[in-house]
């Protein structure tokens, strides 16, 4: 049911949601990633992202996220004005990454998170 221009309520089980493999996720020995966009709200894209156990390098976009399951370590490299730091992720962790951060993700187990980022950006 919709009210005015508002769409009907959408509910998903983020832990069971089937994700689509990401195109850049094909390098040998690298972790695979997959995404399922859920929708847009308040100028933000909302979705679910998962990374299998392994590691990968990334250049981040502005993003906030909540870890649903799994464990990982994110190394933020000293670059683009950001200091080197390390973030430990586990279920319930809420984190914020900024555009231009160079990172290395090491997933100790498959990691699944809900993300929020400005509309039109890609994970």
**Global model pTM greater than 0.85:** no
Domain ranges of the chain: 20-118
Identify the pLDDT of residue 122.
Answer: 57
Per-residue pLDDT of the chain (123 residues; tens, 9 = 90+): 334 555 655 778 888 888 888 865 444 457 888 999 998 989 999 999 999 999 999 999 999 999 999 999 999 999 999 999 999 999 999 999 999 999 999 999 999 999 999 987 655
What's the CA gap between 63 and 70, in Å, rounded? 19
Query: What per-residue confidence (pLDDT) applies to 6?
Result: 56
> What's residue 120's pLDDT?
77
CATH code, 20-118:
2.60.120.10
Return the pLDDT at 14: 86
Q: Please state, in angstroms and rounded to a whole number, the distance separating the CA atoms of residues 122 and 45.
A: 9
The confidence score (pLDDT) of residue 83 equals 97
């Amino acid at each position: 049911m919709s009210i005015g221009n508002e769409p009907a309520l959408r509910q998903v089980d983020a832990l069971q949601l089937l994700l689509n493999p990401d195109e850049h996720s094909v390098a040998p020995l690298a972790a695979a990633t997959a995404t399922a966009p859920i929708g847009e709200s308040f100028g933000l894209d909302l979705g679910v992202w998962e990374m299998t156990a392994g590691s990968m390098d990334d250049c981040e976009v502005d993003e906030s996220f909540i870890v649903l399951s799994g464990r990982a370590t994110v190394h933020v490299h000293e670059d683009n004005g950001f200091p080197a730091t390390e973030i430990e992720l586990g279920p319930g962790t809420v984190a914020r990454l900024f555009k231009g951060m160079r990172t290395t993700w090491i997933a100790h187990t498959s990691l699944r998170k809900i993300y929020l980022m400005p509309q039109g950006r890609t994970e």
